[in-house]
Structure 1
Amino acid sequence: MTSPALPARKFLGTPVQLAVISLIAGASCSSWAQTAEPAAKTEPDKLPIVTITATKKLTSLQQTPVAVTAVTATALEDTRANTLLDVFNLVPSLQGTGQGDHGIVSITLRGIGNDSAKTEYADPEVALFVDGVFSPRPEGASTLMFDLDGLEVLRGPQGTLWGRNSTVGTINLKTAKPVLRDQSGYVEGGIGSFSRLGTRGALNVPVSDTLAMRFAFVHEQHDGYVDYQRAPHPSLASQQAAYAAANNGSLTGFQALNPNLFVQGGPKYNAQNQTAARVSLLWKPSAQLRWDVSLEKFQDRGTPSMSLMQTPRAGEKFWSALIDTAPSLKRDSTALRSRLEYDLGGMSLAYVAGIGRFSGSGTYDQDLGVQAPTSFSTGASHQEDNTVWSKYNNHSHELTLASNGKQELDWILGLYYAAEDNGIRFDIPIMNGTQQGSVGWQGSFIQPKETVDTQAVFGQATFNVGDKLHLTGGVRYTHDDRKNIGGRGWFWGYDASVPQVPLDPGLDPSKPGSGYNAGNVNDAHYTGSKATYLARASYELSKDMMVYGSVSTGYKSGGSGDGGLHYGPETLTNVEAGLKSTLLDGRATFNLSAYHMNFKDFQFSAPVIVNGNRQFAYSNAEGAKVSGLEAELAARVGAEGKLGLTVSYTKTRLGELVAASNDYQLPPCFDPQLGGNCLKVTGNELPHAPKISVQLQYEYQFHLGGGDSLTPRIGAHYQSSNWLSVFNLGDGDRQKAYTTLDLGLRYAAKKNWYVDAFVRNATDQKVKTSAGSSGSFANPIWTAQYQAPRSYQINAGYSF
């Protein structure tokens, strides 16, 4: 992915050049997110050239007029990034959070995201690809990242080349490929906080002069860090008084509260236990033909992330919860990916295909233990969120024909087809007080078959007007067909002849006498089409400096929600201008982008209560407007130091929207279609969009003699306060400004072995990534998901 750095042209002429040089001289910084592996020809005082595939061709990062951040394998290793949650601080304007009940990662870029994309049928605004193969469901976002060449984050809509769900950006993970005629590999093992154990490795095997294979594996585990609180033990007299007060003074039916209903041991929430393996094959029978294919398996036996009370219950630790539903998470996925490419001379033909299979289940304590029961049926509620089963099957195919090299007209044409067949059963039992209590509400959402068929045709061309001016135009036409077949919501019927016990996975709620009635009928058929486009001009001010401007659009299809109600597609138009420059004779780079996005028909979705029943509702907001500025600097500090800085500024404003959500306590709603509670949020700021975000990193390599080295690293992340929902409800719904610090130290021996120590969140900051409330609108009890507390790890490895 890298090549020797080209000689940089010295300049000290224009005001723009002088300003950039002055900024770098004052900040002396480099972005690890743009640092490539050492070039084959060592030039220690220069930055190596980074190549990317953002335009679906191999191009230099500094010569590609796109706002893209390339995070290399070295950067991922230096920052100990095992999942996407560890990457967000490396990329301007990128935010994310783990979601509890489905155990997935939700992604926001440039202030645009969709927290509800954790559901089985919601599409994200930031598309995730692995080796160019789209991963459609959000569960793929938390898959372990291992044995990668790096990843690329394309900021702004990528609807022309990358598709309909790239509304605001694309993330493409690039796995390490086999190498012909090379036998090599590495192995690593480590320990750390919370009984962490980790191991990973890879082996490259040359089978013949034209065939090579690569085997890679990873296993990461640590105990959960949310402790179990002691079960409540109210006196019998106080239990009877509380029960009598709720039952007109009667003690009929009274039971003593059973403290054994609260979890006191076993696996804790926020535990990791993930394993993955990949076998890759490269066949290159001639200089013209190359075929890469890989088979990857992933298994997750960890636990979901628990939301915590922002103000802990008196006498309890912050990292603890009163739990009455034991955590579980079982996820298995298989992915087959293939790229076949043939060089036809002046053009290349490529076929990229992928097949994915996912199955999962899990249990989650959705009442979060925010209230302690005063009797077996009063003072609190017991709510479980149970994914009884889920399955997501998909396949995709892309055929492209593209010009080779740089011609007067560079072009690419493509055809795309993808299909999904998904299903889920999701149960929500809610009991008054404890599991012993009466039914508050309960239901089972069974979606046996939800399908997606997407077809697209696209093309893009760049007219090179001389050596300096380049004009690019592109268009993509997409047709979507989505169906929900047989989807039903089954709700508790309050039949006095049926025992009031929590819904269990073995019960079929559709059978007569089960106690459940048919509620939502979700059968629906949605079709829609959309053309997205790109228009861009770039101009090379010199060999080392380029400016560009573009107008591009993104698109996410509409669909249907509970009750079979349709919602419309959302679109985004992005106007952007940028600068890319290589400075100080190749010792530094400075990239800048400014943008304004007009987001129309934003799809807002959330769980609501309508006519006493719970369902997932969608609505299209008028839209939103987002403006921002992003800067990335990279520089060598002497021959052995690297200093890096990324800065982003984001300003957001939501359009016309009245929003409802069960996740928040809201005032009574004036619109019965939105449920019992709602709030007008027009003009509010979007969530997960801090105005200012800064990432600073520094490392210096000390040579110890004999080829050994010692490299300390430090990384600091600052961001201003940001809202956690569209409701903008005050301090409970806001993460205040904060700074986190990561520390690393690596000893590398000449004989190919190393020891690495890393501390994440060294100052042990409590950083909220999402929030919710219970109780009442006037006196809410606030909860939140949090980034992990301070942790350390020590790893040792050997390469051969």
Structure 2
Amino acid sequence: MIKMSKMHKRLCAKSAAMLALSAALPIGTAYADEAAADATPAASQLETVTVTAQRRKENIRDVPVSVSMLTAQKLDVIVSGGQDIRMLAGKVPSLNVESSNGRTFPRFYIRGYGNTDFNIFASQPVSLIYDDVVQENPILKGYPIFDVANVEVLRGPQGTLFGRNTPAGVVKFESAKPSLEKVEGYYSGSVATHNTINAEGAVNVPLSKEWALRFSTLRQHRDDYVDNTFTGQKDSLDGYNEHAERVQVLYAPNTTFNALFNVHQRNTTGSARVFYANAIRPGSNDLVDGFDPNKSFTNAPNFQNLRTNGASARLSWDLDGVKLYSITGFEHVGKYLSHGDIDGGAPGMTPAIPFNVETAGGITSVKQYSQEFRAESKNAGPLNWQAGVYYFNEDANGFSDTFDSNTHVLASHLASRQKNTAWATFGSVNYAVNDAFMLRAGLRYTKDKKDFDTVVADRVVQVNPTSADVSKSKFNWDLSGTYKYTKDVSFYGRVATGFRAPSIAPASSSVPVTVADAETITSYEAGVKADLFDRRARVAFSVYDYQVKNQQLTVVGGNSNVTRLINAAKTNGRGAELELEGFVTPSLKMSLGGSYNFTEIDDPTLSVATCRSCTVTDPRNAARNAIINGNALPQAPKWTVTATGRYSIPMENGEFYVYTDWSYRSKINFFLYESTEFTGKALVEGGLRAGYIWQDGKYEVAAFGRNITDTKRVTGAIDFNNLTGFINEPRQFGVQFKGNF
């Protein structure tokens, strides 16, 4: 039993009570003075969180943006059982990630604002940036999480400083970097349910006084565990094999110049997403009685493979009064094919196969080049600035196929090509009005051009037009201010605009090439960030309001499996976000996060086709289409909550701990129209982990569980002619061993 002094007990009790109430109470100097009256042990203080949300290293409390950080330790917990990037959904307020393609095509949403488009040329308003290089094509956004230093989630428009197409926000990954100091690294392996294996490791090797290398690798495997009752084959679906590697080389000859080179690749094979036709009970959003996620009735091939690679060079010069940066990136998709049977029924359902649909989509090649030059001032006075230029070039070639489901012979082949070129100039200024008040302003000009053509239309009689050329330019700006109320408490306010270039969707036999015009956003945000009780706790709270004009929306399904793009005149969003973490006692650390996200389509003229066999709750127009005015955006839960707790027990030679994490999201719409069956139920998922760490953190062994309550929820659907859905990841138990050297 751990003995504590009376003062220590009093401090712990007071901290626990005030931590729970801090979000609701006014924050002022009285709290800082009261906390300073007691000496808090350094071991139970929160570490200072440094982010690069403004392209500079800053304390998260001083950044005038709603930003969250996931550390390497938290990431290790949520991906230890082989999970992919979708596991970030709900781990910070206002973030959702989902996919109808499984591990290979994630779609991101921040504050309810995202894009459900599943065509391979889709763009997204949430930008994913890996090691300062934007990953524009959705296929690139699924690169697995391993040997990562941290992940930052920046909410709201970020276009004046980051990449392209960032009106909703940025998810920013930063790999662990090479070091010149010593040979070091880690290795980690886990085995879990369904023979799920996750093995990763990294080694850092100083090659000389000027050169260092860091090599990182990941191997993931899961057995097929879903039985195909059509063929009678056991364990024939929903497995995967994945491996990825990253090599980084650092050159730092002096304190003035350094260069970081990065080469990486990914290879994924396995089952495509398993769809369950007739899985949703008519007239409700429940799964049908007797539904078994371990069985599917699939009469066509179901597989997926992906190969990507890339490289980057980040150079910096630290000169008198200014820092210069050059960031060069290349990303390549060498092969992508997802071949799915989207009519596979749930066994026992009637009919098991309502109609035959076998499709495939893929990429023959995507080549993306990007270049950024940026200058950053180092003034000792109140004024500092950044300025730069950015260039982006993408050449994407993709296709979609249909098959005769009886013979599995190709029935049609449609191949398209899109060339996208964009360039921008940007700048920002920081001005310290006084010791307490900082003003920031940014401006960006963007020019974006896309050329889209149909390359092959084999056994597809397309509707004209079959090509499109669009070009758009736009100025964006932001203005923010940070006021330090005390040394531990800051208030901020921000207004920002954002821009997403026009998008293009391929033609088909029933729909011509469609072009969605550029969308713009104006966002208002204010918040408070504070360290409490001598850094034993930390709180951040923000409120926001935004309006998107000409939002690009994706119409899918209805009468056919075709993507069509439209624009909504306006979309309104508003909400709030809270993050709270701290030590309740020296042994118990807890966090609580939550968000309220209200979204609403504001366009009385907008209507879409609907499913034939579901219960549509929207009003209809004369053409029997659903009027979607007033509906929430798809995949936009109104409420999300995330909570974690870690309790540690010191032992003679190490530490035993128990860690738990939980996430909740309220119900969501799967499509632009609302229907009873395609409204996803609220989802709660929890994880539990118990482990032992010894030799000053050198070794760790743990047992873990993910989705420990075995919750089964429909998380997405296909809506034409049957009630087809796909579900969340299954419950999983496993063990992990990790070592550092």
Matched residues in 2 for 1:743 and 1:101: separation? 24
Where 1:633 maps in the other structure, the secondary structure is: strand
Matched, 1:418 2:362: no
Contact 2:103 2:142 in 1 (8 A): no
Measured after TM superposition, the shift of residue 638 of structure 1 is 2.5
Amino acid at match of 1:741: G
Equivalent residues in 2 for 1:161-310 (5 A)? 161-229=161-229, 231=230, 263-265=231-233, 268-308=236-276, 309-310=279-280
Partner of 2:331: 356
Partner of 1:753: 699
Residues 634-664 of structure 1 show CA distances to partners (whole Å, capped at 9, x for unaligned) of 1113323210000111111111163436777
Residues 258-312 of structure 1 show CA distances to partners (whole Å, capped at 9, x for unaligned) of xxxxx43376333221100111111000101111111001000122222332346
Residues 238-258 of structure 1 show CA distances to partners (whole Å, capped at 9, x for unaligned) of xxxxxxxxxxxxxxxxxxxxx
Partner of 1:23: 21
Match among 543, 559, 571 for residue 503 of structure 2: 559
Matched residues in 2 for 1:423 and 1:279: separation? 28
Tell me: CA distance 1:401–1:316, structure 2 relative to 1, closer, same or farther (3 Å): closer
Match among 604, 609, 614 for residue 553 of structure 2: 604
Tell me: CA distance 1:173–1:361, structure 2 relative to 1, closer, same or farther (3 Å): same
Amino acid at match of 1:700: Y
Tell me: CA distance 1:552–1:128, structure 2 relative to 1, closer, same or farther (3 Å): same
Contact 2:385 2:427 in 1 (8 A): yes
Partner of 1:160: 160
Per mean C-alpha deviation after superposition, the further-off stretch among 689-698 and 626-635 is 689-698
Matched, 1:791 2:732: yes
Q: Unpaired runs of 5+ in structure 1?
A: 1-16, 28-40, 232-262, 491-508, 510-514, 669-673, 776-780
Measured after TM superposition, the shift of residue 665 of structure 1 is 5.3
TM-score by length of 2: 0.88
Contact 1:290 1:341 in 2 (8 A): yes
Partner of 1:3: none
Partner of 1:407: 381
Matched residues in 2 for 1:379 and 1:737: separation? 28
Partner of 2:440: 472
Measured after TM superposition, the shift of residue 738 of structure 1 is 3.7
Matched residues in 2 for 1:318 and 1:79: separation? 22
Amino acid at match of 2:57: L
TM-score by length of 1: 0.82
Partner of 1:688: 635
Matched residues in 1 for 2:300 and 2:240: separation? 18
Contact 1:101 1:385 in 2 (8 A): no
Partner of 1:767: 713
Contact 1:373 1:381 in 2 (8 A): no
Matched, 1:47 2:21: no
Matched, 1:368 2:344: yes
Tell me: CA distance 1:705–1:529, structure 2 relative to 1, closer, same or farther (3 Å): same
Measured after TM superposition, the shift of residue 425 of structure 1 is 1.8
Matched, 1:629 2:576: yes
Contact 1:572 1:598 in 2 (8 A): yes
Match among 350, 369, 375 for residue 395 of structure 1: 369
Matched residues in 1 for 2:637 and 2:693: separation? 38
Matched residues in 2 for 1:266 and 1:228: separation? 6
Matched residues in 2 for 1:379 and 1:790: separation? 27
Measured after TM superposition, the shift of residue 586 of structure 1 is 1.1
Matched residues in 2 for 1:184 and 1:647: separation? 37
Residues 216-250 of structure 1 show CA distances to partners (whole Å, capped at 9, x for unaligned) of 10101112343322x3xxxxxxxxxxxxxxxxxxx
Partner of 2:29: none
Contact 2:610 2:625 in 1 (8 A): no
Amino acid at match of 2:327: V
Partner of 1:497: none
Contact 2:664 2:684 in 1 (8 A): yes
Residues 415-439 of structure 1 show CA distances to partners (whole Å, capped at 9, x for unaligned) of 00010000112102365xx459xx9
Tell me: CA distance 1:517–1:689, structure 2 relative to 1, closer, same or farther (3 Å): closer
Where 1:585 maps in the other structure, the secondary structure is: coil
Tell me: CA distance 1:640–1:374, structure 2 relative to 1, closer, same or farther (3 Å): closer
Tell me: CA distance 1:365–1:647, structure 2 relative to 1, closer, same or farther (3 Å): same
Residues 661-697 of structure 1 show CA distances to partners (whole Å, capped at 9, x for unaligned) of 67775799xxxxx998732100112222222211111
Equivalent residues in 2 for 1:33-182 (5 A)? 43-80=42-79, 82-100=83-101, 103-116=104-117, 118-182=118-182
Matched residues in 2 for 1:94 and 1:382: separation? 36
Residues 128-150 of structure 1 show CA distances to partners (whole Å, capped at 9, x for unaligned) of 01011000111122221110101
Tell me: CA distance 1:132–1:677, structure 2 relative to 1, closer, same or farther (3 Å): farther
Residues 372-405 of structure 1 show CA distances to partners (whole Å, capped at 9, x for unaligned) of 9999xx9832111212543211010010001126
Amino acid at match of 2:138: P
Amino acid at match of 1:115: T
Measured after TM superposition, the shift of residue 772 of structure 1 is 3.1
Matched, 1:718 2:675: no
Amino acid at match of 1:527: S
Measured after TM superposition, the shift of residue 461 of structure 1 is 0.5
Tell me: CA distance 1:429–1:407, structure 2 relative to 1, closer, same or farther (3 Å): farther
Contact 2:414 2:460 in 1 (8 A): no
Measured after TM superposition, the shift of residue 609 of structure 1 is 8.0
Measured after TM superposition, the shift of residue 760 of structure 1 is 0.6
Contact 1:606 1:660 in 2 (8 A): yes
Tell me: CA distance 1:19–1:313, structure 2 relative to 1, closer, same or farther (3 Å): closer
Residues 39-86 of structure 1 show CA distances to partners (whole Å, capped at 9, x for unaligned) of xx9921210101111101111111212111011111111333642211
Contact 2:120 2:362 in 1 (8 A): no
Where 1:85 maps in the other structure, the secondary structure is: helix
Between Structure 1 and Structure 2, how many residues are aligned?
A: 696
Partner of 2:586: 639
Contact 2:228 2:237 in 1 (8 A): no
Matched residues in 2 for 1:331 and 1:736: separation? 32
Where 1:57 maps in the other structure, the secondary structure is: coil
Tell me the percent identity: 25
Residues 147-184 of structure 1 show CA distances to partners (whole Å, capped at 9, x for unaligned) of 01011010111111114311101011100100003101
Tell me: CA distance 1:769–1:142, structure 2 relative to 1, closer, same or farther (3 Å): same
Measured after TM superposition, the shift of residue 521 of structure 1 is 4.8
Match among 663, 681, 702 for residue 736 of structure 1: 681
Match among 509, 517, 529 for residue 568 of structure 1: 517
Matched, 1:658 2:633: no
Q: Unpaired runs of 5+ in structure 2?
A: 1-14, 26-39, 282-286
Equivalent residues in 2 for 1:508-547 (5 A)? 509=458, 517=461, 519-547=463-491
Partner of 1:462: 430
Matched, 1:443 2:442: no
Where 1:47 maps in the other structure, the secondary structure is: coil
Matched residues in 1 for 2:595 and 2:291: separation? 38
Tell me: CA distance 1:20–1:390, structure 2 relative to 1, closer, same or farther (3 Å): farther
Tell me: CA distance 1:388–1:533, structure 2 relative to 1, closer, same or farther (3 Å): closer
Matched residues in 2 for 1:294 and 1:576: separation? 36
Where 1:141 maps in the other structure, the secondary structure is: helix
Tell me: CA distance 1:389–1:112, structure 2 relative to 1, closer, same or farther (3 Å): closer
Residues 299-334 of structure 1 show CA distances to partners (whole Å, capped at 9, x for unaligned) of 001222223323467766243221012221110000
Where 1:77 maps in the other structure, the secondary structure is: helix
Partner of 2:625: 678
